[in-house]
Amino acid sequence: MVFSHPSLALTNHLKLIYVTAYLERVTFKRVLIDGGATVNVLPYKQMKIMCKSKEDLIPTDLTVSSFSGAITKTHGILPLEVDLGSKQIMLAFFVMDNASTYRALLSRDWIHQSLYVPSTLHQQVAVYHEE
């Protein structure tokens, strides 16, 4: 894989990578790709938009620590099919209350399963193809 040499303008930003993805065929804009996150996260509010309820969740006692160090209890795990680009992958999302700007968070779990390589520097996601 080869990325182009970044321009000076590219090296002077701290932007996150947001993409549009389909979760169970529902369009989600502002899906955050976070290579530092260990779990996929779906805000409770977004779960309700998908017409899912607590009965759809797999119970768990897991708590999640945010980047600020806050500990949050999850509502449960929601398995969802994620379509992004040319890949369809079934992922486990931890549903939790949060007031974030993202509609869903894709973690290292998604990165490794999809064989995508995000570059925050280039604001691009490279895709591995067998061909």
- Any residues with CB less than 8 A from the CB of 96 and at least 6 apart, and which? 41, 42, 43, 44, 64, 72, 73, 74, 75
Whether residue 101 lies inside any domain: the answer is yes
Q: Is the pLDDT of residue 45 over 70?
A: yes
Whether residue 3 lies inside any domain: the answer is no
Mean pLDDT rounded to a whole number for the chain: 85
Whether residue 2 lies inside any domain: the answer is no
Q: Is the pLDDT of residue 44 over 60?
A: yes
Whether residue 91 lies inside any domain: the answer is yes
CATH number of the CATH domain containing 12:
2.40.70.10
Whether residue 71 lies inside any domain: the answer is yes
Whether residue 29 lies inside any domain: the answer is yes
The total of structural domains in the chain comes to: 1
Give the Cα-Cα-Cα angle 73, 51, 48 (nearest 5 degrees): 35
**Domain range spanning residue 33?**
8-127
Q: Is the pLDDT of residue 1 over 60?
A: no
pLDDT of residue 78: 97
Whether residue 1 lies inside any domain: the answer is no
Instruction: State the pTM of this model.
Output: 0.83
Q: Which residue has the higher pLDDT, 3 or 125?
A: 125
